[in-house]
């Protein structure tokens, strides 16, 4: 390194979260291209990016220096500061060696778990304990020393420097100098040199890099505005006042510091030389960059003396063989031996025993669970009872789960009922120790759509225009703007017009950048010993969960294992259905024993009655596909969710599957001579490839790959790694030739397989979730009343879903009886072949109110005889006036003498009289005759008021339920609506983008607004007999439509379909757009 004149030691990557605009690959590329032999990473308060930094640097032959710009305070437990600025100062810490890196992990982790106040803070006490192997720099002008100098408090700065030197050791502390064209720096830096001369503590020059090149300054400015949710027009926003925060060449740094001793630049090189290369994991030379941890930090499973994990796992599997199979065939025995050998070879027997242990904990307590993900391909997991389906029956591959040719961690994802998930996680935490268990980080990035929206907002562009442009980006995960331009001609046209050139330029500059940190929904990590000995931690400020600063991929890099615990509501619903079936029919349903060839179940699925069925009720598009396919066996059923995804849809794979299934298109294979090879693999999917496992099997059958090699090929194709792809193409052709297949055919087959690898679905995961879906479909087919009652109870708080399920009940000829104070409970219950509406779904009726009603009803034995009787018997503190009023409005008193208008008019008197009676009872003022009279129900006269009209009755129901119950205002027009419309809210999403449609319904909400130019426009919700649709009237049509738009108006709408991902479809209305009816 003697020829290097300067090394950058103060650099913020994208892992400084919307403050650093340096993508790690760009940082390392700059270092490599300019000949820099070393470069540091010093993100704010964390080590989130060190692993990506390490891998990128290692690949390019650049020396990585691990560091952090920590937040430093006097007392980390003090919470008196009123702002982030007051809470702490900055301090740069660099890891000189592995000891220093481990101490840095501890400091940063304690900063989050003990010192967090606005920011994660460390203090002198922590630094005194964990300073070995660290080099400190006094940081930018937000450091304590330069801050004090900026306030002309020289002696205090000197004293603080002395204290730091005492903690760190004088040889491990440097005064940091930075010149970025800021006036404040010009005043402070000479004083820093004075301190250096006076104390003997050396000074070092840095450039506080927040973006790679000077021309990136504006993109960084936009990024800061995004972080602070400001527009560029806001002059008070946080911003850098110069464009000098980039990676400068050594020559530029010499020029910048020409008035300072040369030592300030040379010291950067000396620090870099002192910092050793710290190996975070051992890299292999495989083309895919495969890796393994330096040390085994997997948790140890406790065994009895003399036992080994390998022996115990094998014994349990042998026992499972005879429980699962009446006949153990050679194929089964061979598969088991194969899997056990791989598990033992990779050292993962203990992992399987750990999973089995907490699964057994759940099973012993009667908890329901299921496994998902690639673990479905493991016979070992089936024999242990962790998964409930035979992987061999469905052609599932173990190598998709655990590849002996790729050092990677096993990943078994478990789903539990939501209320049981935390209990199982607590068991694992207590067993291995809270300091050995943590949640797992997840990083969010600015996708193409998000970049357009957030940049557009920052540039203060019209939000409706920005939203329109963003929606033109296809809804495909990880799609780039350039890819979107190729797929969306309309988007490309907008860019080419040049009107939004700055928007697209900045969105491209920022897309893909890491924007913030979250916590993985279901993952936890368990280590052998304390986690802070291995990985840095942070605390999620929203719910105080401690999590690793590494995500699941990074954890795999360092040899740590993740366990997945997901709360799955479907499992709870199935359990509740089975319980209700037992109560209602006295039948014991064991879903492990049901037939997966049940004709009635497939008949229901094919009919499109899919509401409430896991995975299948997601959209009318999915419903449409299912009704076309009409699956008649489980293999077809597994395929449906795999087909209904962007890749198979856009490639035509889904259409081919449907056409071939229906016999419209012949089942063909690319080359007739390959049919004997391909038919056993693709036959069950009508000759089309939809699963990742099929890609692997084709590579095995055509080119002689092992399944491990085939999995590596699949990964390379999926990740579009060109160098690796070329290498595997050559191996594929060479292997095919050995099997007598020409190079030409092999080359073309490689091209054919490649796109399938990109969007193929994991069949193991698909099978696991298809079983859940089928189980629900089976229950819906054979126990429809219990199924629907359970669903509506589960979704009591979601009026939109209740509305959907009520419509489904009508289609299934199930009568849903209205709420009734004498029959209803909290949830929806079964009453013969009918369903009784649940009281918990009524607005203003709290759980305490329901409990009070049921308790009083049970106590009285005969229920309530009148409104007055109800008020006297229930606890009116729990069942208040608003609850009673809502119950009246939805018809819960209809079984009593009188009508709803009379009940509502009598509420005040009934409550007043009941309270007076209760007060007299409480103080013993009731006479003997009063007590006798109390036992005899007194008939009270209800006020003589007129009945509500149909429209009044329905309006009250809508107000208290969110939907109409006893009828619908549109019912009177049902035939007319059907004749004059082309679609409805349920079928709208089946219409292609840009299709002109005709709908009719009732307007349930209106939001009038204006554009930036103060032109009026309107958003409204159109409700029909099937659901609701959002509509918008743009300014140019507003005048023609506005008079017809008001709440409760029945209207006919002409519009253009505009699909919005994860939302209801929206119709921009066009003239004659909205007509009143």
Output the domain CATH number for residue 1040.
Answer: 2.40.50.140
Is a pLDDT exceeding 50 seen at residue 908? Answer: yes
Q: How many CB atoms lie within 10 A of CB 803?
A: 20
Question: Which whole number is the average pLDDT over 655-659?
Answer: 95
The pTM score is 0.84
Could you tell me if residue 828 is inside a domain? yes
DSSP letter (8 states) at residue 13 = B
DSSP letter (8 states) at residue 301 = P
Q: State the pairing for strand pair 537-539/413-416.
A: unpaired
Q: Are residues 338 and 471 in the same domain?
A: no
pLDDT digits (tens, 9 = 90+) for 712-746: 998 888 877 777 888 899 999 999 999 999 999 99
> Tell me, what's the pLDDT at 856?
96
Question: Which whole number is the average pLDDT over 537-552?
Answer: 92
Could you tell me if residue 186 is inside a domain? yes
Output the domain CATH number for residue 519.
Answer: 1.10.10.1600
> Tell me, what's the pLDDT at 356?
97
Residues with Cβ within 8 Å of 678's Cβ and at least 6 positions away in sequence, in order, are 669, 670, 687, 698, 701
> Tell me, what's the pLDDT at 286?
38
pLDDT digits (tens, 9 = 90+) for 233-279: 998 999 999 999 999 999 999 999 999 999 999 999 999 999 999 99
Bond preceding residue 1072 cis, omega within 30 of 0: yes
DSSP letter (8 states) at residue 295 = S
Could you give the angle at the alpha carbon of 51 between the alpha carbons of 565 and 726, nearest 5°? 95
Is a pLDDT exceeding 90 seen at residue 125? Answer: yes
Output the domain CATH number for residue 79.
Answer: 3.20.20.140
- Domain boundary (756, 773, 795) is at 756
Q: Are residues 956 and 980 in the same domain?
A: no
CA distance 469 to 466: 5
Q: Are residues 732 and 844 in the same domain?
A: no
Q: CB–CB of 1008/1037 below 8 Å? A: no
pLDDT digits (tens, 9 = 90+) for 356-369: 999 999 999 999 99
- Domain boundary (564, 586, 605) is at 564
Q: What mean pLDDT, rounded, does the chain reach? A: 91
Q: CB–CB of 773/611 below 8 Å? A: no
Strand partners of residue 441: 519, 551
Could you tell me if residue 317 is inside a domain? yes
Is a pLDDT exceeding 90 seen at residue 932? Answer: no
Q: Are residues 856 and 751 in the same domain?
A: no
Which residue blocks in 760-798 are alpha helix, DSSP H?
763-782, 784-794
pLDDT digits (tens, 9 = 90+) for 815-838: 999 999 999 999 999 999 999 999
Could you tell me if residue 551 is inside a domain? yes
Q: Are residues 953 and 1022 in the same domain?
A: no
Is a pLDDT exceeding 60 seen at residue 808? Answer: yes
> What is the extent of the structural domain holding 381?
309-435
Overall number of domains in the chain: 6
Of the two residues 897 and 1056, the one the predictor is more confident about is 897
- Selection from 52, 54, 43, 51 nearest residue 20 by Cα: 43
Q: Are residues 111 and 142 in the same domain?
A: yes
Q: Are residues 553 and 489 in the same domain?
A: yes
Could you give the angle at the alpha carbon of 621 between the alpha carbons of 445 and 799, nearest 5°? 80
> Tell me, what's the pLDDT at 968?
87
- Domain boundary (435, 452, 477) is at 435
Task: Give the CA distances from residue 457 to residues 233, 422, 507, in Å, rounded to whole numbers and listed in that order.
Answer: 11, 39, 11
Could you tell me if residue 744 is inside a domain? yes
Q: Which residues of 552-572 are buried (b: 16+ CB within 10 A; e: fewer)?
A: bebbbbbbbbbbbbbbbebbb
Is a pLDDT exceeding 80 seen at residue 539? Answer: yes
Q: Are residues 851 and 902 in the same domain?
A: yes
Q: Are residues 906 and 979 in the same domain?
A: no
Q: Are residues 22 and 159 in the same domain?
A: yes
Could you tell me if residue 390 is inside a domain? yes
Q: Are residues 431 and 448 in the same domain?
A: no
Could you tell me if residue 873 is inside a domain? yes
Q: CB–CB of 313/578 below 8 Å? A: no
Question: Which whole number is the average pLDDT over 951-978?
Answer: 90
CA distance 562 to 580: 36
Could you tell me if residue 486 is inside a domain? yes
Q: Are residues 186 and 44 in the same domain?
A: yes
Question: Which whole number is the average pLDDT over 899-909?
Answer: 96
Give percent of the chain above pLDDT 90.
74
- Selection from 477, 472, 467, 473 nearest residue 445 by Cα: 477
């Amino acid at each position: 390194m003697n020829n290097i004149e300067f090394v950058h030691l103060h650099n913020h990557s994208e892992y400084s979260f919307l403050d650093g605009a340096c993508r790690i690959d760009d940082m390392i590329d700059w270092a490599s291209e300019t000949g820099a032999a070393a470069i540091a990473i010093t993100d704010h308060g964390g080590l989130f990016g060190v692993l990506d930094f390490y891998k990128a640097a290692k690949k390019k032959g650049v020396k990585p220096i691990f560091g952090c710009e920590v937040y430093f305070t006097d007392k980390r437990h003090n919470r008196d500061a009123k702002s982030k600025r007051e809470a702490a100062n900055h301090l740069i810490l660099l890891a000189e060696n592995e000891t220093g890196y481990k101490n840095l992990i501890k400091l940063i982790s304690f900063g989050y778990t003990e010192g967090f106040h606005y920011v994660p803070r460390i203090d002198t006490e922590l630094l005194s304990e964990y300073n070995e192997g660290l080099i400190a720099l006094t940081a930018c002008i937000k450091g304590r020393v330069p801050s004090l100098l900026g306030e002309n408090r020289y002696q205090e700065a000197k004293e603080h420097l002395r204290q730091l030197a005492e903690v760190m050791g004088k040889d491990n502390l440097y005064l940091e100098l930075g010149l970025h064209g800021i006036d404040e720096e010009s005043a402070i830096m000479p004083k820093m040199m004075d301190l250096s001369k006076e104390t003997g503590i050396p000074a070092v020059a840095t450039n506080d890099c927040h973006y790679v090149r000077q021309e990136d300054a504006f993109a960084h400015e936009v990024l800061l505005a995004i972080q602070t949710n400001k527009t560029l027009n806001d002059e008070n926003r946080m911003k850098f006042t110069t464009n000098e925060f980039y990676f400068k060449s050594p020559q530029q740094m010499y020029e910048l510091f020409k008035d300072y001793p040369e030592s300030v630049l040379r010291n950067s090189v000396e620090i870099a030389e002192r910092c050793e290369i710290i190996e975070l994991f051992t890299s292999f030379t495989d083309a895919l960059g495969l890796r393994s941890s330096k040390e085994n930090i997997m948790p140890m499973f406790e065994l009895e003396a003399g036992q080994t994990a390998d022996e115990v796992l094998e014994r349990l599997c042998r026992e499972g063989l005879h429980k699962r199979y009446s006949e153990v065939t050679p194929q089964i025995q061979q598969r088991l031996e194969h899997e056990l050998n791989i598990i033992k070879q990779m050292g993962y027997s203990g992992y399987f025993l750990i999973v089995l242990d907490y699964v057994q904990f759940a099973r012993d307590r009667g908890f329901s669970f299921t496994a998902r993900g690639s673990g479905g391909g493991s016979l070992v997991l089936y024999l242990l009872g962790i998964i409930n389906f035979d992987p061999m029956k469905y052609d599932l591959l173990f190598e998709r789960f655990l590849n002996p040719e790729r050092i990677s961690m096993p990943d078994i994802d478990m789903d539990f009922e939501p209320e049981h998930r935390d209990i199982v996680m607590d068991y694992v935490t207590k067993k291995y120790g809270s300091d050995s268990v943590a949640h797992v980080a997840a990083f969010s990035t600015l996708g193409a759509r998000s970049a357009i929206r957030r940049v557009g907002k920052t540039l203060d562009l019209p939000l409706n225009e920005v939203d329109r442009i963003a929606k033109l980006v296809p809804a495909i995960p990880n799609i780039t703007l350039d890819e979107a331009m190729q797929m969306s001609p309309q988007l490309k046209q907008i860019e080419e017009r040049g009107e939004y050139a700055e928007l697209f330029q900045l969105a491209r500059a920022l897309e893909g950048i890491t924007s913030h940190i979250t916590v993985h929904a279901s993952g936890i990590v368990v280590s052998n010993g304390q986690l802070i000995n291995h990985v840095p931690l942070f605390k999620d400020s929203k719910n105080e969960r401690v999590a690793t600063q590494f995500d699941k991929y990074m954890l795999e890099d360092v040899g740590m294992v993740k366990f997945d615990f997901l709360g799955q509501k479907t499992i709870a619903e199935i359990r509740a259905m089975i319980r209700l079936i037992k109560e209602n029919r006295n039948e014991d349903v064991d879903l492990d024993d049901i037939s997966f060839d049940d004709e009635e179940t497939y008949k229901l699925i094919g009919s499109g009655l899919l509401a409430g069925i896991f995975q299948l009720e997601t959209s009318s598009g999915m419903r449409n596909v299912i009704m076309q396919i009409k699956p008649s066996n489980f293999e077809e059923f597994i395929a449906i969710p795999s087909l209904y995804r962007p890749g198979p849809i856009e490639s035509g794979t889904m259409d081919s599957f449907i056409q071939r299934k229906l016999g419209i298109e012949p089942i063909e294979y690319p080359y007739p001579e390959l049919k004997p090879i391909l038919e056993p693999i693709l036959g069950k999917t009508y000759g089309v490839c939809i699963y990742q496992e099929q890609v692997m099997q084709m590579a095995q059958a055509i080119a002689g790959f092992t399944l491990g090699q085939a999995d590596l090929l699949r990964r390379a194709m999926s990740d579009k790694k060109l160098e690796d792809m070329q290498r595997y193409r050559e191996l594929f052709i060479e292997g095919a030739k050995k099997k007598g297949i020409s190079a030409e055919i092999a080359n073309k087959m490689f091209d054919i397989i490649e796109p399938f690898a990109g969007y193929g679905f994991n069949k193991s995961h698909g099978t696991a979730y298809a079983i859940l879906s089928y189980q629900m479909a089976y229950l819906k087919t054979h126990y429809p009343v219990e199924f629907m009652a359970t669903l509506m109870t589960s979704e009591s708080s979601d009026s939109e879903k209740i509305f959907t399920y009520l419509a489904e009940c009508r289609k299934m000829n199930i009568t849903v009886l209205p709420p009734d104070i004498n029959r209803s409970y909290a949830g929806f219950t079964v009453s013969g072949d009918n369903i009784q509406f649940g009281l918990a779904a009524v607005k203003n009726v709290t759980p305490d109110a329901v409990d009070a009603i049921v308790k009083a009803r049970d106590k009285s034995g005969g229920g309530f005889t009148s409104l007055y009787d109800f008020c006297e018997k229930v606890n009116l503190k729990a069942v208040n006036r608003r609850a009673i009023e809502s119950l009246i409005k939805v018809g819960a008193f209809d079984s009593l003498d009188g009508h709803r208008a009379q009940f509502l008019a009598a509420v005040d008197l009934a409550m007043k009289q009941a309270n007076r009676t209760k007060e007299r009872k409480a103080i013993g003022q009731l006479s003997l005759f009063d007590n006798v009279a109390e036992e005899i129900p007194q008939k009270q006269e209800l006020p003589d008021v007129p009945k509500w009209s149909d429209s009044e009755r329905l309006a009250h129901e809508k107000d208290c339920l969110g939907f109409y119950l006893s009828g619908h205002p549109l019912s009177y027009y049902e035939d007319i609506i059907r004749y004059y419309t082309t679609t409805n809210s349920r079928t709208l999403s089946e219409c292609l983008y840009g299709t002109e449609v005709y709908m009719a319904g009732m307007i349930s909400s209106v939001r009038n607004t204006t554009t930036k130019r103060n032109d009026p426009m309107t958003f409204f919700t159109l409700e029909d007999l099937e659901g609701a649709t959002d509509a918008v009237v743009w300014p140019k049509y507003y005048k023609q439509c506005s008079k017809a738009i008001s709440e409760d108006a029945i209207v006919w709408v002409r519009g253009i379909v505009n699909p919005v991902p994860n939302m209801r479809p929206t119709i921009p209305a066009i003239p004659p757009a909205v007509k009143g009816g």
